[in-house]
Amino acid sequence: MRTLLVLTVLGGGVAHATVAPALGIAGVTPDLPLIVVVLLALRRGPEFGCAAGFAAGLLQDAAGGGLIGVQALTKAVLGFVIGAAGSRLSVTQPLVQVPGLVILTVAEGLARFALLKMFNFSAPFSELMFYVVLPQALYNGFLGALLVVALAWIESLRARTS
């Protein structure tokens, strides 16, 4: 579990630092660590989701130069909630994955905004939501769905060959 956790956090970090800028469309980049945390929390449960979310968020906080602990907290909670609810959710359909990830990203954005507001952050809510959170949420939704489909295809291929 530890190895997978380290790989997840570092892999998400590397992907976020390398692939995300290249995937940018009109200034909107996906939140790759968030997608990774959600997908792994669904498979590995709340503990893994919480730890992975905390570590990945902490790295993002450190890299971003803002208040340290905000993304660590929101992603840890998100990883935990998704991990706990994973067994009760049917997430194999893209019709569920896309809106699911959109809602989760928006929820994470709202939680982050609320936290920052508690600690005297003064950004306008509507603009932040409209220009940053929502576009990123849509992007995350489609990218996450693609990733789920790709993973499912790889797994079916492996099952067929073994």
Partner 1 sequence: MKTRKFALLSLAVAVCLLLLTLQTRGYGARAADALAAVTTPIQTGIARAHRVAFSAWETYLDWKNVRAENGRLREENQQLRVEGLLVRETDDENRRLRRLLALQERLPLTTVSGEIIARDWGGWMRALTVNRGRGDNISRHTAVISPDGLVGRVVEVRPGASIVQVLTDPASTVGAHVLRTRAPGIVEGEPSGVLRFKYMSRDGAQIQVGDVLVSSGQGGMFPRGIPVGRVRSIDDRGTALFHYAILEPAVNFSRVDDVLLVTGESRQDLAGFFPSDG
Least distance in angstroms from the C-beta of 137 to partner 1: 22
Q: Which CB sits closer to partner 1, 62 or 89? A: 62
Nearest Cα neighbor of 5 from 52, 38, 47, 37 is: 52
Token pair, residue 122, equals: 């003064």
Least distance in angstroms from the C-beta of 99 to partner 1: 25
Q: Which CB sits closer to partner 1, 9 or 145? A: 9
Report d(CA 38, CA 29) in Å as an integer. 17
Give the interface with partner 1 as residue ranges (CB under 8 A). Answer: 10, 13-14, 17-18, 46-47, 50-51, 53-54, 58-59, 61-63, 67-70, 72-73, 76-77, 80, 84, 115, 119-120
Q: In the chain, what's the furthest Cα-to-Cα distance?
A: 56
Q: Which CB sits closer to partner 1, 4 or 10? A: 10
Report d(CA 46, CA 44) in Å as an integer. 7
